Amino acid sequence: MKNYNKKWNNYEIENIKWINLNKDHLCRYKFVDYVEKENIKDIVEVGGGELIEARKILSNNYNISYVVVDVSDTFLDFAKTIDRVEGIKGDMINIPLKDKQVDLIYCSSVLEHSPDIRKTIKEMSRISNRFYFNMFKWKMKTGDLISVFRHKKQYYSTTFNIDALISLIREYGNIDKLIVYDREKVEEKFSSYRENNVDIDINRNGKYLAIIGSWVA
């Protein structure tokens, strides 16, 4: 596995174009709503970045435990500035937590950069009871689950065939919801979205796919 930590250390907090473009995306608010509705008590977020959702959740809930696991010293140093957030250095294929230590694991625009998606899903199912994934980079018909190291950008990238990912997740757990959210504040069940867009297979179109469910004990 290539060392890809350096890439994520080279960002400047509050000056990351990609994050700024999606700070108010509907998918973030839906996650916050989910945490409150389901009365989640402890969360591990892998690759939390600027912890936009965490800050919203913690501002409203003083009884929740929030841990962020990241390979980036930049983002972990930022996490230290947020009250009641614990930062842990770790990779998504080797998370330094005990079996079933937390209720919910959350990832947003992170699975796409896994160095090994199969090991990642297995590891996440080990440490948590439930999962909530927000996917920005996914395709309906093409792609696979192979992670490729992009030498120019110095990170791993996976062009997901969504059926392959869904099948992999179902090897370890049950999917309760598949929902597509876009920047225009519109949400749609994935089954309906797929039926209406049967001929397209695109990537990075501003739509996030939320995959929500629980792991098999």
- Give the count of domains, the chain: 1
Residue 181: the pLDDT is: 94
The pLDDT of residue 206: 82
In this structure, is the dihedral angle defined by the CA atoms of residues 109, 125, 40 and 209, taken in order, positive or negative?
positive
Pairing type for strands 85-89 and 65-70 reads parallel
pTM here is 0.93
Give residue 210's domain range: 5-215
Domain containing residue 61: CATH number: 3.40.50.150
Q: Is the pLDDT of residue 67 over 80?
A: yes
| Angle at CA of residue 180, ends 177 and 186, nearest 5° | 120
